[in-house]
Amino acid sequence: MPQVTIVPTGESFAADPGEPVLTAALRAGLNLPHSCKGGHCASCRARLLAGATTYPTRELPAGITPDEAAERFVLLCQAQAITDITIETREMRPAPQVEVKSLPSRIDRMERLADDVMAVFLKLPAVEDLHYRAGQYIDFILSGGRRRSFSLSSAPADGKMLEVHVRRASSSGFTGQLFDTMRAGNLLRVEGPLGQFWFRGDSPRHAVMIGGGTGYAPLRAMLRQLLAVGDRRPLTLYWGARTTADLYEHNWLVNVEAIRPAFAYRPVLSGSLAEVSPWAGRSGLVHEAALADLGADLSSTMSTRAGRRRWWRRSAIRSSSADCRARSCSSTRSTMRPIRWRRCGRQTAPDGRDVLLLRRPWHCREFRKARRKYVPVGSRATSMSRDGLPELSATPRPPQSARSERCVGCRLSSPQAHAR
């Protein structure tokens, strides 16, 4: 039976043959970072320091690239240990006063919020209490061990009834069945609360919430909880959607803005504006609107972001403070991969210095100009500094001739192609 050792904590546990490393860790009581458990979100990404692993299909999951696999990164939810292995990752601490439970639930009622969004209200057994933090999520446990994760849009102050906002993603999957065949009274098994995404109220700083689509749901829970406890901190909510119909709680938020001091609601539409009722508000991408409003003031704010991971990959906004990331952006569901910079080649700076051209891998195509950073040759970008620039270490880099001329970020054949 392979043994798995975690660095830097030094904890170890046994994994059965053919068992995913993440499953073995959870069985051993270790809460490693994870979310979808299907190899798509990459929340469970870890570095393999020693030993060998394999995947069930012998092919790489969708959430990891060949370049990352070559650097010995693995997805723990899919990787199976062949030998004793050592992995580098971190253990997630559960929310205070929260116990993860697996409980039966009954659909109390369902309300259509938009054409493709349904509010589902779940009633738990009378003898069971589910204590959670606003912003966390639950898993629906389906047949065959499949799971579907949805953020709780209700706040603990709302009572025992749980509410989730479900967007229809398919006609035959779980969401399709929920829209077409499920009715009030149907039984569903849920597990939760899960995730590290909840509001940290220990800082009095101006809080900024940014969500897209049904990513508004956990932000709604946070807002309702803050209203219930009488929190008066400055708060700004940016909600991005395609059309006005997707802003399904627009009127309620407008009313909250009118009655609560220091709360600002900023809806942003990214879809076509050719509607029956012309949109007089802001248009474009919600993260660009937030960046335009806040600019350099991000270091004095707490940012909380929710939405589709693919959408946040395109986002040009990043928390400019390490403290901000530690306090408010530790979600296992919507957090991005660690920000890493890739070397794409050398160029000559306007002042004549020989510099390295660095890019973020997933921004090569969409944000070529915005994502460029120039650093002196011989330095290495190891992390993000407080002002959003890469921290530099004195570790020498290998000569360019000794490295591949192929850009691992955007797959262009040579660094010179970036200039085009």
Least confident of 86-90, 131-135, 192-196, 299-303: 299-303
pLDDT at 134: 93
From the centroid of its chain, how far is CA 368? 23
Tell me how far apart the alpha carbons of residues 389 and 108 are, in angstroms, rounded to a whole number.
Answer: 50
Under CATH, which architecture does the 3-88 domain have? Roll (3.10)
- 173: tokens are 């999957």
Q: Which of 42-46, 83-87, 201-205, 327-331 has the lowest mean pLDDT?
A: 327-331
Determine the pLDDT at residue 117. Answer: 96
User: What confidence tens digit (pLDDT) does each residue in 240-275 have?
Assistant: 999 999 999 999 999 999 999 999 999 999 876 545
CATH topology of domain 101-194: Elongation Factor Tu (Ef-tu); domain 3 (2.40.30)
pLDDT the model gives residue 306? 62
Q: Which of 86-100, 123-137, 285-299, 342-356 has the lowest mean pLDDT?
A: 342-356
**Cα distance between residue 138 and residue 192, in whole Å:** 5
pLDDT score, position 281:
84
When the pLDDT of each residue in the chain is averaged and rounded to a whole number, the result is 75
Nearest to 327 by CA among 308, 305, 295: 305
| 11's tokens | 């904890």
- Write out pLDDT tens, residues 184-236: 999 999 998 988 788 887 777 889 999 999 999 999 999 999 999 999 899 99
Strands 354-359 and 373-376: antiparallel
Domain range annotation of the chain: 3-88, 101-194, 206-328, 342-419
42: left (phi over 0), alpha (psi -120 to 50) or beta: left
The pLDDT value given to residue 34: 80
Q: Closest by alpha carbon to 100, among 136, 76, 75? A: 136
The answer to whether the predicted template modeling score (pTM) of the entire model surpasses 0.85 is: no
CATH number of 206-328: 3.40.50.80
Asked if the model's pLDDT at residue 398 lies above 60, the reply is no
123 closest CA partner among 152, 163, 180, 175: 163
Q: Quick one: pLDDT band at residue 41, thresholds 50, 70, 90?
A: confident
